[in-house]
Every structure is written in C-alpha cells, then in structure tokens.
Amino acid sequence: MQQPDLELVQVRRNESFKVWAHGYPYKTVRWHFHPEYELHLVTATTGTFRVGDYVGAFEPGNLVMTGPNLPHNWVSNVAPDEVIPERCLVLQFTQEFIQGCLALFPELDFVAGLLDESTHGIGFPPATAALVTPILTELLHAIGARRIALFVTLLNILGQIRTRVPLASGEFQSEPMKYMSGAMNHVLGHIRRNFTAELHESELAKLSGLSPSAFSRTFRKHTGMTFVPYINLLRIDFACQLLVQGRKNVTEICYETGFNNVSNFNRQFLLLKQTTPSKFRNTHTMNAAMAASAA
C-alpha cells in the first residue's frame, strides 16, 4: 500500500474546530493522513473509499469518523471533466481540544469510547447521517457559542449510536513516523512549522533530496497546487484568524503572516477570499453582533 500524503489542517486560533465543505475534484482527494480527528459526510456522488486497510463503496449519506493519523480517501465515480460543487461536509478537531473537553466536562465521558474506536475508523448507519446532516450544514456558518452547542449535540448523537461499525482491521496500525519519513511529507511538515517565514522552492527541493523540476512535479501531485499558491493559501488562512481576533491592523497582519508588502497581501487575499481584509473583518464583526443580539 502506497505511503499516504500529509494534509495540513489549519484550525483557526479563535475556533475550537474546523468545519468546511468541498466539491470534486479537490486537492485533498487523495490517500492522506493528518493528526486531527475527522468526521466525513458524503453529500453527493458514489464511489470507493479507503480507511486504513478497509475498502468499501460509498453513496450520499456515507458518514465516517477517523482518528489521528489514520490514512483515508474517497474517490468519486464521475466523468473526467465533471465538477461537483459540494461532495462532502468535513469536521476536524485536534486531540488536544477534545481531551481538554473531556477533562473539563465529566458529562462527556461517553466520548472516550468513540475516540478509541475512531483509531480504526467508524462507519455510521444512514439514519445517523440523516440526523447529522442539518447539524454539519448549520455549523458551516455558525459562530460563537452556537458552534459549541452544535458540536456537543453532534457528539451526543454519535456517542449513542450502537450500530456503528469498525472499518480498518484490528491488525492495522497507523505509522505516522514512517509516513513522515517520506521526502515530501518531511517537506510539508517543515512548511507547516515555518510557512510565515521566507521559504524558497529551491531550498525545499534540497530538503526533499529531489531536483527542482522533480520537486515541482511531486509537490503538485501531493498538494494539488504549485508551491507559491500553496504557501499563499496557508498564509491567507492564518491572516483570517488574525483578522477576526481584531487586535492587529491589516499592515501588522500582512507582515506577521509572511508577506513582504501590503499590496501583494491585499491582492492575494482578494484572489482567495473574494473580498478585502478590511471587508472580511467588518463582515465577521457584523455577523458576530447579529448573532449576539439574536441570542
């Protein structure tokens, strides 16, 4: 079985977990792993999915939970030029976050069993997916305390399902250290730790042991993107976290996230978020105020 690729998951500093949707094709649709727990709900297409050493068929309503560093992938049966606007909803959270929740709230003790089982992947019945779908959909846009309420509701539903089934075999063992020994995963780990610093593709090629041209091809194969847009994406996502915190101005955030000038920062932000940094912050502030007044 081929080595899985490392996926860099960015949970915003002002949020406890990440909820997002993506279509098909998409750059993360590949055999990959990450240290975060993941709840994955398919909303469109059919195809084949892999979790550890498990291989099965999926259709809309396929709901799976994976534990830290457990390799997984969903591949849809679609025409080569077909584009699906939304293929799945994804929730991701760190081990530190969920363990902190268990330490603070003994009422969540039931979640411990769910987390243990997720190390080999858990499949849930369609009826559970039907209950979870509106919660994940609302979580895409929820803010503030409403996000936490929905998250706990989600855990409560999943924890009470007795018909959940293990996916990977008991013999399968995740090997994150072995995965990270691969040249490209080693580079991606370095990028994750240093994406706000000055990075040069030629230097990363040396770190991987590949020639510059081979590195460029391999990097795109692993990430679905070329080097500069990938770095810009990580930096802009980090900028969004700093903007919603509201303590720093746009210029300060520009340089803290690794950009060398404000005009380029604004241009890349507009390209990726279809708005300016100032408008992004204002929209978030307005939405937060509306949510507080409605509470």
**CATH number for the domain running over 176-285:** 1.10.10.60
- 14 or 220, which is more confident: 220
Choose among 62, 33, 46: nearest CA to 180: 33
DSSP for 97-159?
HHHHHHHH-GGGTTHHHHHHHHTT-EEE-HHHHHHHHHHHHHHTT--THHHHHHHHHHHHHHH
The ranges assigned to domains in the chain are: 5-166, 176-285
pLDDT digit string (tens) for 47-85? 999 999 999 999 999 999 999 999 999 999 988 888 899
| Bond into 25 cis (ω within 30) | yes
**Average pLDDT of the chain to the nearest whole number:** 89
Task: Summarize pLDDT for 114-133 with one digit per residue, the tens.
Answer: 999 999 999 999 999 999 99
Evaluate whether 97 touches 137 at the Cβ level (below 8 Å).
Answer: no
Considering the domain delimited by 5-166, tell me its CATH architecture. Answer: Sandwich (2.60)
How far apart CA 176 and CA 29 sit, in angstroms, is 19
Q: Count how many residues are written for the chain.
A: 295
Half-sphere exposure of 104 (CA within 13 A, CB side): 6
**No. of H helices and E strands in the chain?**
12, 11
CA distance 3 to 32: 8
pLDDT at residue 26, rounded to an integer: 77
Average pLDDT over residues 153-176: 91
In Å, what is the CA distance from 56 to each residue of 42, 77, 231, 234, 247?
13, 13, 34, 32, 47
Q: What is the pLDDT of residues 167-216, one digit of tens each?
A: 999 888 888 777 766 777 788 888 988 999 999 999 999 988 889 998 89
User: Letter for the amino acid at 154?
Assistant: L
- Residue 58: the pLDDT is 96
Q: Where are the beta strands (DSSP E) in the chain?
A: 5-6, 18-24, 32-33, 37-42, 47-51, 54-58, 63-66, 72-76, 84-93, 122-124, 165-166
Which residue in 25, 140, 30 sits closest to 90, CA to CA? 140
- Per-residue pLDDT at 244: 83
Cα gap 277→243, rounded to integer Å: 7
Residue 24: the pLDDT is 84
